[in-house]
Amino acid sequence: MKTARLMGASVLVAVMALAAGACGSPGSPSGSSNNEASQVHNDAKANDTAKCRNTVKKPNAEKVTVWAWYPAFGKLVDHFNETHDDLQVCWTSADQSAKAYSRFNTTIKAKSGAPDVIQLEYAVMPQFASGVEKHLVDLSKFGVDKIRSNYTAGAWKDVQLGGSKGVYGVPVDVGPVVMYYRKDIFDKYQVKPPTTWDEYEQAGRELKQKGYAGHIGNWQPNGTLFNYAYYDQNGAKVFKYSANDPENVGININSDKVKKVVSFWQKLAKDDIVATDDTDTAEWNKKNVDGSYATIIHASWLVGYLNGVSGVQEGSQWQIAKAPVWDQSDPDVNCGGSGMAVTDQAKHTEAAAKVAMELFGDDAAQDIAVNDSGLYPTWTKKLSSAAFLDRQEPFFGNQKINKIIAPVAQGYKGYQFLPFQTYANDEQTKTLSAILRDGKNASTSLDSLQQTLSDYAKQQGFKVSQ
Amino acid sequence: MSAKYVSAKRRRRLSKDNLWGWFFTLPFGIVFIVFLVVPLVYAFYVSLFTYTQVRGSVFTGLENYRRAFSDPIFLKGMGRVVIYTLVMVPIQLGLALILALVIDSMMTRLASASRLLFFLPYAIPVVIGALMWGFIYSKNLGPFTSIFALFGRQPPDFLSTNGIFGALVNMVTWQWTGYYMVILYSALRAIPHDLYESARLDGASELQIAVRIKTPMISSSLVMVTIFSLIGTLQFYTEPMVLRNNANSAIPPEYTPNMYAQALAFNYNQINYSATISFALGLLVVIFSVIFMRVTRKQSGLGD
Amino acid sequence: MLKEKDAARRIAQPHRVGSNLLLIVCIIYFLMPVWWLVVAATKSNSGLFMGTGGSLWFDKHFALFDNIKELSTYEGGIYWRWLLNSFLYAFVGGLGATIISVMAGYGFAKFRFAGRNAYFDIVLGALMIPTTALVIPTFILMSQIGMNDTLWAVLLPSLLSPFGTYLMRVYCTGSLPDEMLEAARVDGAGEIRTFIQVALPIMTPAITTVFLLSVVNCWNNYFLPQVVLADTKLFPITVGLTQWQAKSNAGSGSEQVWNLITSGAFISVIPLVLAFLFLQKYWVSGLTAGAVKE
C-alpha cells in the first residue's frame, strides 16, 4: 500500500511537470542571428561601469572588455593602457580554456554578458563561427589585412579558419613541437638522441636493454592536439573545415597515414618501449622531472612545467632538439596556440577590433608576452630577431633553444579544426586509449572512430566528406 | 469517520488545521515548486526540442527520448552506475553493519574511539576526499608503491582502465561507510538490552545474537540507508568527475549519466539533449527506488 | 548475576581478538588518507614531487607555514575568501533549510489539513528524485533570468531539503504529544507561540540533526556551484580547489600550486571535522529518532 502511494506520488510529480510544461516557458535556448550586419555595434559608453580585474589607468577613456588567461596578462594590459589614450582595456575574466568557453557559450545562450574581445584557442574558433553559431566578427572590415605580414603564415591560416575571405582573430602564440631530451641519460647509456622515428625506436630499445628503468618517451592517449601533430607530420590532414563553406566538414581519421602512426606507437607501447600516461596530471608532472622519460616530444611551453615542478631554474640536464621525423621532408608541426577574437556582442565593434589587433602589437608587448607570459610568438619580427634567437636559456645549460624552436614556428603551415572539436577530441582519446593501453586493433578502431565522428557531424546537420 | 458526526468544535478545529497546516508547510512548498518542480518541468520542455549546430533548435517532440534510450553512451553510463550500485551498496552497508555490530557488542575504549574515527571521512567534503585519493592512487606520488614494495610486489594500477572501478568503489566506501555505520549503530543502541540477556541465558553466542536478534531489529534503518546509498550511487558524479583530472582517459567525460549531461551541456553545446538525459535519469532513479521499496515493503520505514 | 555476566564474557572472548583486530585494521584504513593529507600539507611543491620522506612521512623541509603564508598572498589571498564563502553557503543555506524543514515537518505532523496526504506523498516521491538531475535545468533557467553567477544561485536551491522535512515529521509524530500542544492552546497561546515555546524545545535533538545534515550537504555542494558560478570570488572551497587542481595539471611554472591544494584542503577540513567529533553525541540522537521508527 505504501508503495502504491509512493508510486502515485512519483506519477503525480511527473504529471505536475507535464501540466506545467503545457503552459509553455520563454523561447527555447539556442542559436543567434545569421545576419552579418547585426554583428557590428557602436556603443562607446556601454562598458563605462564594467568591473575590471586591472586598475584602468585612464578612467575617462572608452573601455573594451577582455577575457584572457595568458600568464602575466595583467602586465600586458597595463602596458596597453599606458600607451593608449583613446581606449583602455578592462580585463574582466581569467577563466581558463574549457571553463571560459562554456561560460562564453552561456553568454551566447543568454544573448548578453560576453566580452568584447576573447582569447580563443585556434582549435575552438570554428565552434563559434559555424552554422547558426556565428559569434566571431570578421576583422577584415576593420583593416586586419594591414597587419597580416607581421605574423607567420601558419598562424594566419589558423585564424582564417580554413577559408580565405574572413579573418576571425589575431594570432598571439603557437606551440611548436620539439623534442626535449635528458642529456645525462643518453650519455650514461651511451645512446645517441634520435632524429628519426626509426632511431627513436632503436634508441628506446637500446636504453631498455642497457638497463634504463624508465621509458624513452610517452604517448599520451589524451594528448589530442599532439596526436593531430603526429598525423600531420606523416602527411595526414585529418580534419577539414572552412569558414567560407560552413556547412561542410571533412573527416579522414582512418587513412593509412594515420594508421601507420598509431600502429607505430602501439608497437612501442606493447613492447614497453614507451609509456602511455595521460598528460596534464600530477603523475605525469612528476614523471617529467624524475627521470622516468628520457625524451618528451612536446610544445615549446613544456619548459614552464619542468622548472615549475622541480624548482630547478638553471643547469638542468634537459636539452632541446628537433622532433624526430619519418623522413627529412616531413613538415614542421605545432600543438595549440591561441589568438584574440572579437565577439558579436562587442558593444563597440571597431574599438574591440583595435584592441584585438594592438594588444600584442608592439615590441614592448611582445617582450612581455615572451619573457613574462612564456608564450611562443607568432610575430615574425620577434621570431627572426637576433636577440631572441641568440638568447641563452639557463635552464637548458645556456642552450640557444630558439635556434631550434623558431624555425619550427616559422615553418608551421596551419591546421583546420572541426566546429565540434571538443567532441572529436574526447572520442579520439577513448579510441587511442583502447588501442594503446588495451591492445585493440588499431585499424578497425580508427575506422569506427571515423564512423562515430561522421555520424555526429551528420546528426549536427553538416555534410561530411573525407 | 464520516462527516455527519463531526461536531461544531471539531469543524472549527479542522478549518484551523487547514489554515495553520498550510501556513507551516507553505515555505517548503514554495521552495519545492521553485527548485524542484519548475526545473523538472523545464527540463522536460527543453528536452522536446532538438538542437543542431547547422539548423539551430527545432521542436521534435519525444524524438530526443528515442535517441537517449538508443544512445549507447547513455545506456552504457546507466549500466555502469547500476553495476556500481550492485557492488558498492552491499560493500558499504555490509561493512557498516559489521562494524556497527562489533562496536555495539564491545564496551571498550577502542570501540568508542573507532566509532569516532570511522566517521571522520564523512566530515571531509567528497571533492576533497577525491582530490586526496587522486594523489594517493598515483604510482609515483602515493604510498602504495612503497607499501607493495615491502612485499616485493608492484602496486595495482588504480588509475588505469581496469583499475578505475576498484579505485572508485574504494573511495566511496571510505567516505560513506562510517556515516552509515553511525546510523546503524544508533539504531542498535535503541534496542532494549534485556532482549539479548535472555538470549544469552538461552546459550546463544554473540554472533547468533548479532545475526538473529540485532540485525532484524534494525531492518527499517537498514532499508533506509540502502535507499540513500542507492539513490546516491545512481547519481554518481562528484568522485569520478574529480578523479578524472588524474585519469583522463580511464574516465571518459560521459562516464556516468550525470557526467554525460554535464559534458553535453557545457562541452558539446547540446543543452536540449542534456536536459533529456537529466530527465531520463531522474525517471529511471524513481523507477529503481520504487521497485526497491516494493521489494522491501515490509521493512520500509518510509511511507506513513 | 555476576556469574552469568562472566559467562557471557567468556563466550565472547574468542571473538574479541578478532573484533579488536578488525577495528584496528579499519582504523588504519580510514585514517591513512587523512594522515597522508596532514603530511602533504607540510610539503612544498618540490617536496611533494621530489621529497625525501616518502608520501607518508614529512619532507626534511617543513613548509606548512610557508604554505599558509602563500595561501594568503596567492591570487590576492582568494583562498580565505573561498573558505569564508563555504562557511556562508553552509551556514546560511543550512539554517534556511532547517527552518523550512522544521516548520514543514511540524505542519505535516500536527495539522490534519486538506490535501495533506497527497502533499506529503509528493515530498516522499521527491526524496527519490536525484538532485543532480536538476542542476542543469536549474542552470538554464537561472541563466534566463540572469541569476547565474550570484550568491543566490547557490544559496536558494540549497533551501530544499525533502529529507529534513521527512525526518522532522517522523520526529514530531513520535516525540511531540498532541496533549502538550492542546494544553498550550487552552492556556491561550497562539499557534506561533505554541510552536516556538512548546514544540521547538522538544524538537531540539532532531533540529540539531537536520541542521548538521543540511550544513554538511551545503558544505559538500559541488555540482551546482561548479555549474552556476563563474566569478572566482564567489567560489566555495570545493570548486576553488578543483580549479587549482585543473590549473596545476595543465599550467606551467607559477601556475603549479600543488602545495596550496594540499595545505588548503587540510586547513579547510579542520573546522568541520572538529565540529563533528564534538557534536556527534547531539546529532546522532536525532538521527536515531528518524531511523528507528515505532
A198 to each of A265, A362, A404, C25, how far by Cα in Å? 12, 43, 21, 52
Cβ(A304)–Cβ(A143) below 8 Å: no
Domain presence at residue B53: no
pLDDT 10s digits, A262-293:
999 999 999 999 999 988 888 888 888 889 99
Domain presence at residue A5: no
- Residue B8 confidence (pLDDT): 66
Q: Are residues B134 and B84 in the same domain?
A: yes
According to DSSP, the residues that pair with B51 across neighbouring strands are B57
Provide the pLDDT confidence category of residue A48 given band limits of 50, 70 and 90. Answer: confident
Q: Which domain holds residue A228?
A: 175-335+416-465
Q: Are residues B124 and B170 in the same domain?
A: yes
Number of domains in chain B: 2
According to DSSP, the residues that pair with B251 across neighbouring strands are none
Provide the pLDDT confidence category of residue A106 given band limits of 50, 70 and 90. Answer: confident
According to DSSP, the residues that pair with A134 across neighbouring strands are A129
Q: Are residues A254 and A384 in the same domain?
A: no
Pick from C134, C154, C294 the residue to mutate for testing the B interface (most B CBs within 10 Å): C134
Cβ C48–B141 below 8 Å, yes or no? yes
Domain presence at residue B57: no
What percent of chain C clears pLDDT 90, i.e. is strictly above it? Answer: 31
Cβ B38–C160 below 8 Å, yes or no? no
Q: Are residues A188 and A306 in the same domain?
A: yes
CA-based nearest residue in chain C for residue A111:
C144
Mean pLDDT over residues C48-66, rounded?
82
pLDDT 10s digits, B255-270:
999 899 989 988 888 8
- Residue A265 confidence (pLDDT): 96
pLDDT 10s digits, A16-31:
433 333 333 333 333 3
Maximal C-alpha separation, chain B: 85
Indicate whether C13 pLDDT > 70.
no
Indicate whether A465 pLDDT > 80.
yes
Q: Are residues B193 and B82 in the same domain?
A: yes
- Residue C277 confidence (pLDDT): 75
Indicate whether A343 pLDDT > 90.
yes
Number of domains in chain A: 2
CA-based nearest residue in chain C for residue A13:
C122
Residue C21 in contact with partner chain B when CB distance is under 8 A: no
Facing B205 at nearest CB: one of C11, C54, C130: C11
From chain C, the residues in CB contact with A310 under 8 A are 46, 49-50
Phi/psi at C229 (5° precision): -105, 135
Provide the pLDDT confidence category of residue C283 given band limits of 50, 70 and 90. Answer: low
Look at C253 and C53; give whichever has higher pLDDT: C53
- CA of A34 vs chain B CAs: smallest distance (Å): 11
Cβ(B244)–Cβ(B168) below 8 Å: no
List Cβ neighbours of B218 (8 Å cut-off, separation of 6 or more): B184, B187, B188, B191, C291, C292
- Residue B173 confidence (pLDDT): 95
Residue B261 in contact with partner chain C when CB distance is under 8 A: yes
Pick from B145, B268, B269 the residue to mutate for testing the A interface (most A CBs within 10 Å): B269
Q: Are residues A433 and A290 in the same domain?
A: yes
A60 to each of A44, A57, A75, A376, how far by Cα in Å? 12, 9, 20, 34
Cα(A300)–Cα(A213) distance, integer angstroms: 26
CA angle B246, B249, B255 (to 5 degrees): 95
Q: Average pLDDT, whole number, for chain A?
A: 88
Coil, strand or helix: which one is B51?
strand
Q: Are residues A328 and A379 in the same domain?
A: no
Facing C19 at nearest CB: one of B106, B182, B224: B106
Cβ(A241)–Cβ(A162) below 8 Å: yes
- Residue A29 confidence (pLDDT): 38
Q: Which domain holds residue B17?
A: 3-46
Q: Are residues B101 and B239 in the same domain?
A: yes
From the number of C-beta atoms within 10 Å of its C-beta (0-12, 13-18, 19+), residue B9 rates as: exposed
Domain presence at residue B62: no
Chain C: touching chains (3 or more CB pairs < 8 Å): A, B
| DSSP H or E stretch at residue A179 | strand A170-182
Q: Are residues B85 and B216 in the same domain?
A: yes
Domain presence at residue B240: yes
Model ipTM value: 0.85
What percent of chain A clears pLDDT 90, i.e. is strictly above it? Answer: 66
Cβ(C154)–Cβ(C229) below 8 Å: yes
- Residue C284 confidence (pLDDT): 65
Cα(B174)–Cα(B121) distance, integer angstroms: 7
Indicate whether A401 pLDDT > 60.
yes
Facing C132 at nearest CB: one of B125, B141, B235: B235
Here the cell at position B125 is: 567534503
Cβ A430–B263 below 8 Å, yes or no? no
From chain C, the residues in CB contact with A307 under 8 A are 253
Provide the pLDDT confidence category of residue B1 given band limits of 50, 70 and 90. Answer: very low
Indicate whether B304 pLDDT > 70.
no
pLDDT 10s digits, A426-442:
999 999 999 998 899 99
Q: A22-28 — which CB contacts under 8 Å span 24+ positions?
A: A24/B45, A25/B41, A25/B42, A25/B45, A26/C144, A28/B45, A28/B46, A28/B49, A28/B57, A28/B59, A28/B272
C224 to each of B109, B228, C112, C131, how far by Cα in Å? 41, 20, 36, 10
Q: Which residue has the cell 559569434?
A: A135
Look at B207 and A126; give whichever has higher pLDDT: A126
- CA of C65 vs chain B CAs: smallest distance (Å): 20
DSSP string, A234-258: TT---EEE-TTSTTEEEE-TTSHHH
Domain presence at residue B65: no
Query: What letters, b where the CB count within 10 A reaches 16 and e where it falls short, cover A261-285?
Result: bbbbbbebbeeebbbbbbbbbbbbb
Residue C23 in contact with partner chain B when CB distance is under 8 A: yes
pLDDT 10s digits, B163-177:
999 999 999 999 999
Collect all residues from A whose CB is shorter than 8 A from any CB in C. 5-6, 8-10, 12-13, 26, 29, 71, 93-97, 99, 103, 106, 109-110, 280-282, 285-286, 289-290, 301-305, 307-311, 374
| DSSP H or E stretch at residue B226 | helix B219-234
Q: Are residues B103 and B141 in the same domain?
A: yes
Mean pLDDT over residues A322-332, rounded?
93
Separation of CA A336 from chain center: 3
Q: Are residues A309 and A458 in the same domain?
A: yes
Indicate whether A200 pLDDT > 50.
yes
pLDDT 10s digits, C158-185:
999 888 898 888 888 888 888 888 888 8
- Residue A24 confidence (pLDDT): 32
Q: Are residues A284 and A303 in the same domain?
A: yes
* Domains of chain C and any CATH numbers: 15-62 (no CATH), 69-291 (1.10.3720.10)
Residue C222 in contact with partner chain B when CB distance is under 8 A: yes
Domain presence at residue B195: yes
- For the ranges A106-115, A332-341, C137-146, the maximum mean pLDDT occurs at A332-341
Indicate whether B101 pLDDT > 50.
yes
- For the ranges A397-401, A446-450, B98-102, the maximum mean pLDDT occurs at A446-450
Cβ(C107)–Cβ(B21) below 8 Å: yes
Cα(B249)–Cα(B202) distance, integer angstroms: 59
- Residue B7 confidence (pLDDT): 64
Cα(A287)–Cα(A306) distance, integer angstroms: 10
Q: Are residues B290 and B167 in the same domain?
A: yes
Indicate whether B109 pLDDT > 70.
yes
Q: Are residues A95 and A151 in the same domain?
A: yes
Cβ A308–C125 below 8 Å, yes or no? no
Residue C38 in contact with partner chain B when CB distance is under 8 A: no
- Residue A26 confidence (pLDDT): 31
From chain B, the residues in CB contact with C6 under 8 A are none
Cα(C120)–Cα(C130) distance, integer angstroms: 18
Q: How many CB atoms lie within 10 A of CB A316?
A: 21
Cα(A238)–Cα(A225) distance, integer angstroms: 11
Indicate whether C293 pLDDT > 60.
no
What does DSSP assign to residue C161?
Answer: -
- Residue A109 confidence (pLDDT): 77
Indicate whether C294 pLDDT > 60.
no
Indicate whether A235 pLDDT > 70.
yes
Q: Are residues B12 and B79 in the same domain?
A: no
Phi/psi at A299 (5° precision): -80, 170
Q: Are residues B146 and B219 in the same domain?
A: yes
Phi/psi at A90 (5° precision): -115, 105
The one-letter code for the residue type at B32 is F
Indicate whether C9 pLDDT > 70.
no
Look at A27 and C34; give whichever has higher pLDDT: C34
Q: Are residues A274 and A422 in the same domain?
A: yes
- Residue B2 confidence (pLDDT): 47
- Residue A113 confidence (pLDDT): 82
Cα(B143)–Cα(B209) distance, integer angstroms: 40
Domain presence at residue B155: yes
- Residue C22 confidence (pLDDT): 92
A77 to each of A54, A121, A142, A370, B274, how far by Cα in Å? 8, 19, 21, 15, 38
Residue B144: which CATH number?
1.10.3720.10
- Residue C212 confidence (pLDDT): 85
Facing C143 at nearest CB: one of A110, A281, A290: A110
From chain B, the residues in CB contact with A21 under 8 A are 41, 44-45
pLDDT 10s digits, C205-234:
888 888 888 888 898 888 889 888 877 889
Domain presence at residue B197: yes
Here the cell at position B294 is: 516494493
Q: Which of A35-44, A258-267, C256-265 has the lowest mean pLDDT?
A: A35-44
- Residue C128 confidence (pLDDT): 74
Residue A272: which CATH number?
3.40.190.10
* C-alpha R_g of chain B: 25
Cβ(C64)–Cβ(C90) below 8 Å: no
Residue C28 in contact with partner chain B when CB distance is under 8 A: no
pLDDT 10s digits, B137-186:
988 788 888 888 888 888 888 888 889 999 999 999 999 999 899 888 88
Cα(B75)–Cα(B234) distance, integer angstroms: 13
Mean pLDDT over residues A116-140, rounded?
92
Q: Are residues A153 and A208 in the same domain?
A: no
According to DSSP, the residues that pair with B49 across neighbouring strands are B59
- Residue A12 confidence (pLDDT): 43
List Cβ neighbours of A464 (8 Å cut-off, separation of 6 or more): A248, A249, A250, A251, A454, A457, A458
Query: Which C residues in the span 54-113 are in contact with B, Cβ-Cβ below 8 Å?
Result: 54-56, 99-101, 103-104, 106-108, 111-113
- Residue A262 confidence (pLDDT): 96
Here the cell at position C76 is: 590576492
Mean pLDDT over residues B224-251, rounded?
86
Closest CA to A41 of A340, A341, A354, A346: A346
Q: Average pLDDT, whole number, for chain B?
A: 86
What does DSSP assign to residue C255?
Answer: G
